[in-house]
A and B are shown apart, each in its own frame.
Chain A
Amino acid sequence: MQAACFTRFGTALFAVTVLTVSAGPVRAEVRLPGGATVQKVDFERHIMGLFGRMGCNSGSCHGSFQGKGGLRLSLFGYDPEKDYIALTHDLEGRRINRADPDASLILLKATGQIEHGGQKRFAKGSWPYQLFREWIVQGAHWNKGSGDIASISINPPEYAFAKAGLSGQLRVEAVFGDGAKEDVTPLCDFRTNDDSVVEVNPLGQLKALRPGDTAVIVSYRGSVTPVRVMAPVESAPGARYPDVPEINFIDHEVFAKLKRLNILPSDLSSDNEFLRRVTIDVNGALPTPQEARDFLADTRPDKRARKIDELLEHPMHAALWATKFCDITGDNTDLLENPQKQRAKLSQMWHDWFRKRIAENMPYDQLVHGVLCATSRDGLSPEEYLKQFKEREEAEDKGWTNAYADRETLDLFWRRQQAVTPDQWGEKTAAAFLGVRVECAQCHKHPFDRWTQVDYRAYANVFAAVSFGISPDAKKVFDDENAERKKKSEPKNQIPPIREIYVGAFSGGKGGNGGALLNPETNKPLAPKALGGPNILVEKGQDPRQALFDWMDASDNPFFARAFANRVWGHYFGVGVVDPVDNFSLANPPSNPKLLDALAKDFLRGKYDIRQLERTILNSRAYQLSSSVNATNRLDRSNYSHSYLRPMMAEVVVDVLNDAVGVKEKFGNDAPPDCRAVEIGASRVNGSVALAFRVFGRPQRTTACDCERSSDPGLTQKLFLMADDTLVNKIKAPDNRLKQLLADHKDDDEALDELFLAALTRLPTNKEREKFTAYRATHKDRRTAFADALWALVNTSEFILNH
């Protein structure tokens, strides 16, 4: 497959007529594919451009930290000076031969005339060859800053094909710092975000493969620009796009986009379908057979809205979202403070803190404030805090309930056994609250986004003064206490010292608490700065995190409200408008920008009312569409034309399996007694359920990334459902759902109805009933036959997916 690709586009690329093959160093213009000509070859604009688009400066080639084959280029071309020196001075300048350009090592290698680890990159005489050669002929100069990019424009900025199967061309124009404009199309890197919809070749030629839309990402030397490309579904002759009823602004945006693509939304879901979906999504549970019967029998026109309100008020709704917030904020049990045996309880306190606030529907910005700006003392005096802390310790020893959730802030977020560096705090908070992944910029400019190392470090420095220890004004009180504790400590029973999260002095110096990260270019400490936002002035006694929060909380913040609105949307639709939900970047634009804007705007208008946002989403027609597809929307995975089949969170899988089978899970010592999986704080749980959590992708919560939860179906999941001991035993267990069900329903048909309602929230079809009757006839033991039916039901796709 790869070879075919290479040849196909290789041919297209190199079959360009070469106008200027000459033996001697004669100056000539180079004609680029697409017609543009270059008179004066510029190192930054052209040669660096070639390095990028040919992959020479990528991490696995010469851009690696060790270089490759002796040549080291700056990764993705962030440092023209270094690259210029490497080309012209290193190796005694043999890479470039001004007297005989064709004998330049760089050209001999790249054309494979002499051995090159990266093989042949282009042919002798091809346009890249000419460009390189001409640069050498013209003296191999470097004009510092000549390639600084003022702007990039793409023509057209959005590409709407009339139908699938057609081809088109993107043109990229760069405006440089000196005002010069140049067509740089062949020097760009083009990527398609969905290669089943649109194909793009290295010269910017597009082909719409099937109806739908995606983004094509254009990079020119680190400048990244997305272009939306779409091709509508072809209508039958004379067909008219129907009027689709709209419940609220969500439907307006979703259906407008579908209309542009000529995709017809599915019909409204049936009551059964809706009830099952919304109960799983909102409460992580299955409706009981009785709930299902009641809902189906209900004739009130607003019964769906009523059901939504009922589910949003349910305690499991807060528990489910607390679990999601534990993922977002990184509640990893093993990384919490000593003593080890208490860690699961700390994790639970973390979960409970969120749960209480979700249940009370605290506005989202306040909720984040409690995490982002947390301190241990919350304004208490050292003595008061000590008293509070000790009371909690006592409660922890006794059981799972204590007053931690009543605290104003979640200092546990910051309290970790191993020191966490400012840059890690930067990564965690950016992913959690801004939906931005900045980790690439730790070592180099982000290749597919705007973030530089300076952005990364300046943002990290917001957290440089956050300390875990003892603040000066608490020193006396805590030291005395800790001396007492040390006396009482035994080797077998270590009592950890009292420590607190506080904001120390921002020293501006290097390393340690209060130490700032340095500007990689000047080696001077960088002032704290919001990500893509203003500098943060740090004055003595002030918490720089508060200034960061104020920036986030402002109504014009580009990330904060959008990131969370997108998370909520992603939860209820299975696919974020930006997806993955914590990967807002230039290379990953929203599938429907107007929808995302409208959601964020509404969220802001509601003053960050989370439940209102959820209610709006859940009541939309878009959410309530059926998962049955039609001829036009079968392939759609990003425009919400139907309810997508989607895997459930691991915790929800465990809970709904237990719901269906009618058993309670024992989660062992790391979880409160008698709870459901969505109520657990600890990231690791012992006992047999650990395997289920692992197989269905419950995250460890060690990295600042939503991707840690990997619920994609896999073979091991199927094997688990079919053959795992614990599940097979639950289905056999004498006191599970079947006991009562078979006692209450002596008639097999009735019993089967009940079982189907319990597992699938629907009655069996006639065919299914017939098949079971036949099965029953060959299985004399009634209980066994029904247990087998239950096994079969939980193994269906209909059961294990939400839809």
Chain B
Amino acid sequence: MTSRFTTDCEGFHRRDFIKIGAAGLFGLTLPQLLRLESQAKAAESAGGLKPRADAVILLWLGGGPATIDMWDLKPNAPTEIRGEFKSIATSADGVQICEHLSKTAKVCDRVTLVRSLNHTIPSHGPATVFMQTGNKPTPAVQYPVLGSLTTRLMSQQQGVPPFVSFGESRNGNAAGYLGTAYNPFVIEGDGGKAGKGGKANFRVRGIQLPTGFTLDELEDRNKLLNDFDGAFRAADKSGDLVDGLDAFHKKALEILRSDKTKKAFDLTQEKQELRDAYGADGFGQGALAARRLVEAGVRFVTISMGGWDTHGKNFEALSKQRLPQLDQTLSTLIQDLTDRGMLERTIVYCAGEFGRTPKVNKNAGRDHWARSMAVLLAGGGIKRGYAHGATDAQGMAPATEPCTPDDVSSTIFHCLGIDPHTEMQTSTGRPIQLFREGRVIEKLLA
């Protein structure tokens, strides 16, 4: 216990922020585990914001989707900007989207489209960091992705990982300054043959026993392990480190014994119609698994869909493949969450690293464009049936309500009950706000 009088505006001294909110088990390293109790209490007394959401599902459209052809069409612009798609009405008053997203159009009464998002980095790597961390990349600080921050700042459910990601993230060290312990658990495999009612073969490496290693065998071997571990302890090699390892050992056994995650991946528990509705590919089945994971208590799930870097044949790629696939999965996810009453407490966030040039290039493609882009948000305290801001007539830049990745991230964290200006500390002891440049976009809140 630090005997400190100096506190900051939130009533805590800077040093104490290391401890607050790290009640999450998975991200814990030893020094933190040893203070688990005090952390939990500190987190409770931190008070403040009331969470409106418990979880986030991020549908990541890698490569930079042409949102001008999806969420923010320009039907009145000249052909070279307008592109090939028509816009259609949606269930949200006055909100129109692309004709190839007709299923999503039916659930637009439950979503918010942010049309005035913009940033300044038209390059995949750093733009991905910007969008996924809510902080403009700088060489001086490695910012953690949103999921890693939730791992650090939200309470966690027993027996499930707090942050999972389908497929390896592009950003090798997603957890940035928080340290590797806050990286996502990576899900391997795909959804299996949805069409044939087959078993999904998703699994998370590191939290489930490998094939052929049964729980009985684990219990059996664990006895032997305890026998072999005894001598070391008996010889007065005690200390925090050994106690910590013992605690982690017990937790690890709990997780390996728990079948929560395994059950979440067992998509055969779902009706075949629903599995089909999600889409018979890895993305669709991943989204279904994501919903099941959130039900089991996971806080943040990232599912990625690639192929959006449409420098050529943009309209063909979008209309034939990308949009129908996204449309099916996204609309089903929102409907399914609605049907289960989960949308109230779950944020769906569909975004890529940037938009694409309003002007169509000579290969019927669009190139990188960060100065205007649109993202979709739904659920968990986000306004329903709303389009936020607008781009100018040519779609080049926001005309009203300009906002940035920092702002959107701040808004999401506000909904999760976390003050976006919460001060963290890097391992060098540098105090750093979650989203220093971010402002909560009040108009996005329900």
Interface residues of A (CB under 8 A from B): 1-3, 5-6, 8-10, 13, 53-55, 58-61, 68, 117-119, 189, 191-192, 195, 199-202, 334, 418, 420, 424, 427, 437, 439-440, 442, 583, 627-630, 634, 645-647, 684, 691, 694-695, 697, 700, 702-703, 705, 707-708, 710, 712-720, 722-725, 728-729, 765, 767-768, 771-772, 775, 788-789, 791-793, 795-798, 800-801, 803
Q: Chain B 152-191, CB within 8 Å of chain A: the 1/0 string?
A: 0000000000000000000011000001110100000000
Q: Chain B 335-347, CB within 8 Å of chain A: the 1/0 string?
A: 0000000000000
A55, B6: Cβ atoms closer than 8 Å: yes
Which residue from chain A places its CB closest to the CB of B8 in the assembled complex?
A60
A189, B6: Cβ atoms closer than 8 Å: yes
Q: CB within 8 A of A725: which of B15, B173, B205, B220?
A: B205
A714, B181: Cβ atoms closer than 8 Å: yes
> Once the chains are docked, how many angstroms separate the CA of A697 from the CA of B224?
28
B180, A710: Cβ atoms closer than 8 Å: yes
A202, B45: Cβ atoms closer than 8 Å: no
Known A-B contacts A60-B14, A628-B237, A728-B213; A796 and B225 likewise in contact (beta carbons under 8 Å): yes
Q: Which residue, B6, B140, B249, has most C-beta atoms of chain A within 10 A?
A: B6
Q: Which residue, B9, B209, B225, B431, has most C-beta atoms of chain A within 10 A?
A: B9
Which residue from chain A places its CB closest to the CB of B15 in the assembled complex?
A191
> Once the chains are docked, how many angstroms separate the CA of A5 from the CA of B12?
11
A634, B3: Cβ atoms closer than 8 Å: no
B6, A803: Cβ atoms closer than 8 Å: no
B206, A703: Cβ atoms closer than 8 Å: no
Which residues of chain B are near A6, meaning CB under 8 Å?
Answer: 5, 7, 11
> Once the chains are docked, how many angstroms separate the CA of A424 from the CA of B9?
32
Shortest distance in angstroms between A421's beta carbon and chain B's nearest beta carbon? 8
Q: Which residue, B208, B241, B246, has most C-beta atoms of chain A within 10 A?
A: B241
Q: CB within 8 A of B140: which of A703, A723, A788?
A: A703
Shortest distance in angstroms between B135's beta carbon and chain A's nearest beta carbon? 15
Interface residues of B (CB under 8 A from A): 1-16, 25-31, 38, 41-42, 45, 139-142, 172-173, 179-181, 183, 205-210, 213, 217-218, 220-225, 227-233, 235-239, 241-242, 244-246, 248-249, 251-253, 255-256, 421, 423, 426-428, 430-431, 433
B206, A200: Cβ atoms closer than 8 Å: no
Known A-B contacts A58-B8, A202-B5, A694-B183; A724 and B206 likewise in contact (beta carbons under 8 Å): yes
B252, A715: Cβ atoms closer than 8 Å: yes
> Once the chains are docked, how many angstroms separate the CA of A138 from the CA of B199?
81
A719, B206: Cβ atoms closer than 8 Å: yes
A710, B245: Cβ atoms closer than 8 Å: no
Which residue from chain A places its CB closest to the CB of B217 in the assembled complex?
A788
> Once the chains are docked, how many angstroms separate the CA of A771 from the CA of B205?
31
Apart from the given pairs A118-B8, A202-B6, A418-B139, 10 other A-B contacts in the complex at a CB distance below 8 Å: A1-B38, A2-B45, A53-B5, A442-B140, A629-B236, A694-B183, A697-B180, A719-B256, A724-B205, A798-B237
Known A-B contacts A710-B179, A767-B227; A691 and B205 likewise in contact (beta carbons under 8 Å): yes
Shortest distance in angstroms between A211's beta carbon and chain B's nearest beta carbon? 16
Known A-B contacts A54-B6, A720-B206; A627 and B237 likewise in contact (beta carbons under 8 Å): yes
B7, A55: Cβ atoms closer than 8 Å: yes
B423, A629: Cβ atoms closer than 8 Å: no
Which 10 A-B residue pairs are closest in the complex by CB-CB distance? A707-B427, A712-B29, A202-B5, A792-B225, A771-B227, A798-B232, A718-B252, A725-B210, A55-B6, A60-B8
> Once the chains are docked, how many angstroms separate the CA of A792 from the CA of B225?
4
Q: List 9 A-B contacts (CB under 8 A).
A: A202-B5, A629-B238, A703-B142, A708-B427, A715-B181, A719-B252, A722-B252, A796-B225, A798-B232
Shortest distance in angstroms between A266's beta carbon and chain B's nearest beta carbon? 9
Shortest distance in angstroms between B230's beta carbon and chain A's nearest beta carbon? 7
B5, A13: Cβ atoms closer than 8 Å: yes
Known A-B contacts A714-B30, A767-B227, A775-B224; A729 and B4 likewise in contact (beta carbons under 8 Å): no
B172, A700: Cβ atoms closer than 8 Å: yes
A424, B139: Cβ atoms closer than 8 Å: yes
Which residues of chain A are near B238, meaning CB under 8 Å?
Answer: 629, 634
A202, B4: Cβ atoms closer than 8 Å: yes
A60, B224: Cβ atoms closer than 8 Å: no
Which residues of chain B are near A798, meaning CB under 8 Å?
Answer: 228-229, 231-232, 237
Which residues of chain B are near A630, meaning CB under 8 Å?
Answer: 236
Which residues of chain B are near A627, meaning CB under 8 Å?
Answer: 237
Which residues of chain B are near A796, meaning CB under 8 Å?
Answer: 225, 228-229, 232
> Once the chains are docked, how many angstroms separate the CA of A202 from the CA of B231?
46
Q: CB within 8 A of A767: which of B10, B231, B233?
A: B231
